[in-house]
Amino acid sequence: MADEISAAERLACTAARLMKGSTTVFIGTGVPMLAAALARALYAPGLLPIFEFGGVGSPLEKLPLGVGEFNSFRRGVAALGICDVMEAAQRGVVRDGFLGGAQIDSYGNLNTTVIGPYAKPAVRLPGSGGANDVGSLCWRTIILMKHERKRFVEKIDFVTTPGYLTGPGARERAGLPPDTGPYRVVTDLGLFDFEPTAKRMRLIALNPGVTVERVVAETGFKLKLAERLARNDDPTPLELETLRRKIDPERVFL
C-alpha cells in the first residue's frame, strides 16, 4: 500500500487529520484543497472553506482548479470579494489557513516573492496574493511544503508571509494579533511544530521509512527535535478511497 501512495496524498491526509474540529479555513489551490475536502468529509463535517477571491462555504463536491474558479463558489453560503474575506480574517473569525512557499526559515517565515536580491532576482515568484494576510491574521497556519534543503533555509531571501519573524514576541512587536502564527509544517518527510519558548521549528513526527538523518540533511538550519519522536501513519484505506474516488477522481491534484 505504501508504494502506491503519492506525496500529495500523504500531505493531504496528514494535514486533514490536523483539522479535526476545525470550523473555518482559508485554502489555496492544490494540496490545500485536497486536505480541506478530506477534512470536511471525514474529520470536520462543519468546516467552512474560504477562498481568497470570495467563495465561502462551498461543499467542495467538485474541486476548483483555482481560488477564483466557479467551483470555489458553487453551492456556497456567500459569494463575496477578496476584501470581504480578508476583513473577516482581520476580525478574527477565520481559525485556520493553509500556506505554502518556495522558502521557509526556522521561525516559519515564508518567501513566495523572489529568489535572490529583490532588485535583480534569479527567480521572480508569484508573490503574496493573500498569503501575507492569511499568515498575519488567521489564528493558526498550517504550512504544506516539499522538504528540500534549498527550501528550508537559514535566511529566506524575502519575507512574504510572517511566521514568528525573529523569535519570541516579534509578531506582537510588529503589530500582529497575539496568539496567532504557524501551527504545523507538513512535508513529505515529516511533521513539525514550533517550540513554545524559542518559537523555532521542531520535528515531532517522521513519515514511514524516513530517518532523522534524512530530515536533518534536507534542512538548511539547525533543527530542533522533540524528546519523543512520533511516527505518522500511512493514509488509511478510507482516506485514500475518499480522495481518489470522491474528491479528485480525475487526479487533477493527486
> Could you tell me which residues are beta bridge partners of residue 49?
25
Q: Which domains does the chain have, with CATH numbers?
A: 2-247 (3.40.1080.10)
pTM: 0.95
Per-residue confidence of the chain (254 residues) as pLDDT tens digits? 445 899 999 999 999 999 998 899 999 889 999 999 999 999 999 999 999 999 999 999 899 999 999 999 999 999 999 999 999 999 999 999 999 999 999 999 999 999 999 999 999 999 998 999 999 999 999 999 999 999 999 999 999 999 999 999 999 999 999 999 999 999 999 999 999 999 999 999 999 999 999 999 999 999 999 999 999 999 999 999 999 999 999 999 99
- The candidate with the shortest Cα–Cα distance to 99, out of 37, 11, 26, 203, is 26
What three-state secondary structure class fits 13? helix
Task: Give the residue numbers marked as catalytic.
Answer: 52
Residue 122 Cα to chain centre, angstroms: 25
Q: What's the first-to-final CA gap in the chain, in angstroms?
A: 16
DSSP assignment string, 25-80:
EEE-SSHHHHHHHHHHHHT-TT-EEEETTSEE----SS--SSTTSGGGTTT-SEE-
The three three-digit cell numbers of residue 231, written as one number: 511516527
State the alpha helices, DSSP H only, in the chain. 7-17, 31-42, 82-90, 131-137, 170-173, 212-217, 237-241
